Chains A and B, each alone.
Chain A
Amino acid sequence: MSRFPLPDVEWERTQPYFEGAVVGELRLPRCANCAGYNWFPPERCYYCDSDDLNWEACSGQGSLFSYTVVNRAFVKPFKTVTPYVTALISLAVEPRVRLVSYIVDCPPSLLEMDMPLDVVFRPLPFFDEGALFAGEAPIVVPMFRPLTAGSAS
C-alpha cells in the first residue's frame, strides 16, 4: 500500500517503470507484434491487441504536449512543493505515449508548447528538506527538462 502521494513502486503493473528510473533508464511496455510502446501499461497492446508486451528501455526525448503551473496546493503534501509544473510529455519514439511528470530546470515563463524535452532522473519533491517524507530514502522517477545540445542522451 502506497502512502499518498507516493507511488507504490512495487505494484507489478508499473514496477519496471520505477526500477528503470533507479538505474537511469526510461522503461516502457513495448509490443513484440507491432513494436508500439504502450502507456499506461495495458494487459493487451492498445494498437494491435497482442498480449506480447515486454518492458524495454527507450529514448527519453519528447515534446511538451501540455502543462499547468500549479500555484496552490490542492492537498496538504503538495504545500512544500508549489509552485510546480506538471506536464504531459509526448515521446519522440512513440508520440502516442503521453507520460505524466514534472518539468524541471526551466522557469515556467520559458515553457513553450511542443518544445523539445529530455528525460532526467530525480527524486520526487516530497523527500526534499521540509517536505512530508524528508529524511527517508527517496523515490527516483523520470522527470523532463528542456532539450539542449548538451543534454541529448
Chain B
Amino acid sequence: MADADWGTASDFEDLNGQVAIVGVGESEHTKASGRSDLEIAAEAIEKALNDAGLTPADVDGIMFNRGAGSLFDAAAFHAHFGTKHDIWESDRGGGMVWAGTAPYAAAKAFRNRKAKVIVNSFAVAWATQRSSMTGGPGKFHAEEQFKANLEVPFGFFPQPVYFASIARRHMHEFGTTSAQLGSIAVSCRRHANRHPGAVMREKTLSLDQYLKRPFLADPLRVEDCCLISDGGGAFVMTTAERARDTPKPPVIAAGVGQARSKSGSYWSQQPDFTATPQVFCAPKAFEMAGITAADVDVLALYDPFTIAALMQIEDMGFCAKGEGGPFVEGSRLDFDGGALPYNTHGGMLSHAYVLGIAHVIELVRQLRGEAASQVGNADIAVYGGYTGHMASTLVLRRS
C-alpha cells in the first residue's frame, strides 16, 4: 500500500540566481574504448574549460563522486593539467542525482569563499570494464548482503529485473501499455539520430520495430534499457556576477531539490512501488524557482529504463499519477511540437550511458539555443536525477 511516509525531501536553502553554468564539455561516447575513466573525464573537462573561455589555472574548485565512475579530484586535476594551486574539492558531485545537486554544493562554496570557479565532472569506462569483468553497474547490487541473500539467489537481479517488475505493476494498476513505454524509447532514439555525439546516431527505431522486439525481462525489451558505453561530461560553475564576463550566455540555477526513499536501494521493498522520490523533491525545486510543471520548456530525466522516466514524469507533476502512459504516447515527447520535449539528446537509452551529466549539458545547450534538436523559445529546463533510493530536481533558466 502507498504510504505517504515512505520518503523525505532534504531541507535546502534558496539558491535561486546564485550559481551560473558557464561551460560544458563532453568526451566522445563509445563502446569499449580501452581508456580509463580519468582520461575520459580529463577530455570532458578540457572541453568544458574551453567552452567557458577559462584556463586550468582559473579553476579553484572541483567536484566528483566516490560511489561510482571517475574520481577526478584535485590531485587528478593537477596531474593532468600540471598545475599546483589550491583547489577546493567536494565529493558531492559527479553524475546521477549529484549532477542535479552539484550547483547547490557550489552555491555554498561560493558563499563561504571556498572557490570562485568549480568544475563538476563524471565519466565511466563501464563498456571497457564490463568486457574485462572489473566493474560495471551491477557490481554494487551483487555485493550488498541483503540483496545477495534475499534477491539475487531468487533471480531478482540485476536492474532490468527490478524495473521490469515495477513496469508490470504500473501496467496492472494504471493500464499502461507496451506502446506507451515504447513511445519514450522511440522519441529518445529520434533525438539521438539527430545528435552528433550519440552512440545510437546511425540506428533508427520505429514503434512497430520496438513492438516486434523480444522481451529481455517482460514487459521490458532491450530498447527499454539504457546503453552501456564509455564516456563522460563536465560543467563549469561560477557565481552569477562572474558569469557576466564569459563568452557563452550563462545558464542560471533557479531551483534544486533532493529526496530519498526510506527503503534504501531495495526496489523490491519500496512501499509505494510505482513511485520515485521525485514526488518529494520536484515540488520543492519548482517552488524555489517560482515555477510550475506547466512552465517547463524542456525536460531531461535520468532514464536507466523507460518506466523510470514515465514514473518521474508523473511524480514531478507533469500529469497525474497513473496518467503517464497516455501523457507520453505518440510523439508527445518530441523536441519539435511535442507537449513536453524530453531527453532531446537521446538520454541514456540512445545518447550515452553517462549517468545524467550529459542530460545537464544538453539542457544548458537548449537554454543557450545551440542544441542539435533545439526547442523553440526554451527559457526553463528541468533535470530529474533518480538513482534508486534518491532523486534530485534541478531547475535551470536562461539568464
With A71-B215, A71-B218 in contact, is A86–B161 under 8 Å at CB? yes
Contact of A70 among B1, B217, B268 (CB under 8 A): B217
Residue of B nearest to A46 (CB): B262
Q: What's the least CB distance linking A80 to chain B, in Å?
A: 12
Tell whether B212 is near chain A: CB-to-CB under 8 Å.
no
19 contacts between A and B (CB under 8 A): A4-B142, A4-B152, A5-B157, A11-B145, A11-B149, A14-B146, A39-B269, A68-B165, A70-B155, A70-B164, A71-B214, A71-B217, A75-B157, A88-B156, A96-B271, A98-B269, A124-B153, A139-B153, A141-B154
Asked whether B273 lies within 8 Å of A13 as measured between CB atoms, the reply is no
Beyond the given pairs A2-B148, A69-B215, A86-B155, 16 more chain A to chain B contacts, judged by CB atoms under 8 angstroms and listed by A's residue number, are: A5-B153, A5-B157, A13-B149, A40-B269, A66-B165, A66-B166, A68-B217, A69-B217, A69-B218, A70-B217, A74-B138, A75-B158, A86-B165, A88-B268, A98-B269, A100-B151
Q: How many residues of A contact B (CB 8 A)?
A: 41
B162-207 residues at the A interface, CB under 8 angstroms: 164-166, 168-169, 172
Q: What's the least CB distance linking B7 to chain A, in Å?
A: 14
Tell whether B150 is near chain A: CB-to-CB under 8 Å.
yes
CA A84 – CA B161 in complex, angstroms?
A: 11
Asked whether B154 lies within 8 Å of A86 as measured between CB atoms, the reply is yes
Q: What's the least CB distance linking B170 to chain A, in Å?
A: 9
B204-249 residues at the A interface, CB under 8 angstroms: 214-220
A47-82 residues at the B interface, CB under 8 angstroms: 65-72, 74-75, 78, 81
Asked whether A66 lies within 8 Å of B168 as measured between CB atoms, the reply is yes
B101-160 residues at the A interface, CB under 8 angstroms: 138, 142, 145-146, 148-158, 160
Asked whether B1 lies within 8 Å of A102 as measured between CB atoms, the reply is no
Contact partners of B273 in chain A: CB under 8 A? 65-66, 88
Tell whether B88 is near chain A: CB-to-CB under 8 Å.
no
Asked whether B158 lies within 8 Å of A74 as measured between CB atoms, the reply is yes
Residue of A nearest to B222 (CB): A72
Tell whether B318 is near chain A: CB-to-CB under 8 Å.
no
Contact of B154 among A8, A69, A71, A101 (CB under 8 A): A101
Contact partners of A34 in chain B: CB under 8 A? none
Q: Please encode chain A, from 9 to 28, with 1 for each CB lying within 8 Å of some chain B CB and 0 for all others.
A: 10101100100000000000
Tell whether A95 is near chain B: CB-to-CB under 8 Å.
yes
Asked whether B168 lies within 8 Å of A14 as measured between CB atoms, the reply is no
Asked whether B155 lies within 8 Å of A102 as measured between CB atoms, the reply is yes
Residue of B nearest to A5 (CB): B152
With A98-B269, A124-B153 in contact, is A113–B145 under 8 Å at CB? no
Q: How many residues of B contact A (CB 8 A)?
A: 36
Contact partners of B165 in chain A: CB under 8 A? 66-68, 86-88
CA A13 – CA B145 in complex, angstroms?
A: 9
With A40-B269, A75-B138, A88-B268 in contact, is A113–B168 under 8 Å at CB? yes
Asked whether B1 lies within 8 Å of A95 as measured between CB atoms, the reply is yes
Residue of A nearest to B145 (CB): A11
Contact partners of A88 in chain B: CB under 8 A? 156, 165, 268, 273
Q: What's the least CB distance linking B165 to chain A, in Å?
A: 4
Asked whether A74 lies within 8 Å of B146 as measured between CB atoms, the reply is no
The 5 closest A-B pairs by CB, nearest first: A86-B155, A68-B164, A7-B149, A66-B165, A66-B169
Tell whether A6 is near chain B: CB-to-CB under 8 Å.
yes
CA A66 – CA B168 in complex, angstroms?
A: 6
Asked whether A78 lies within 8 Å of B155 as measured between CB atoms, the reply is yes
Contact partners of A17 in chain B: CB under 8 A? 150
B1-29 residues at the A interface, CB under 8 angstroms: 1
Residue of B nearest to A111 (CB): B168
Contact of B268 among A6, A14, A84, A100 (CB under 8 A): A100
CA A95 – CA B156 in complex, angstroms?
A: 20
Asked whether A100 lies within 8 Å of B150 as measured between CB atoms, the reply is yes
Q: A7, A67, A68, A75: which has the most chain B beta carbons within 10 Å? A: A68
Q: B150, B157, B218: which has the most chain A beta carbons within 10 Å? A: B150
Q: What's the least CB distance linking B336 to chain A, in Å?
A: 35
Contact partners of B164 in chain A: CB under 8 A? 68, 70
CA A49 – CA B164 in complex, angstroms?
A: 32
Residue of B nearest to A81 (CB): B155
Q: What's the least CB distance linking A97 to chain B, in Å?
A: 9
Asked whether A8 lies within 8 Å of B160 as measured between CB atoms, the reply is no
Q: What's the least CB distance linking B43 to chain A, in Å?
A: 30
Q: What's the least CB distance linking B378 to chain A, in Å?
A: 38
CA A101 – CA B268 in complex, angstroms?
A: 11
Q: What's the least CB distance linking A74 to chain B, in Å?
A: 5
Residue of B nearest to A72 (CB): B216
Asked whether A98 lies within 8 Å of B155 as measured between CB atoms, the reply is no
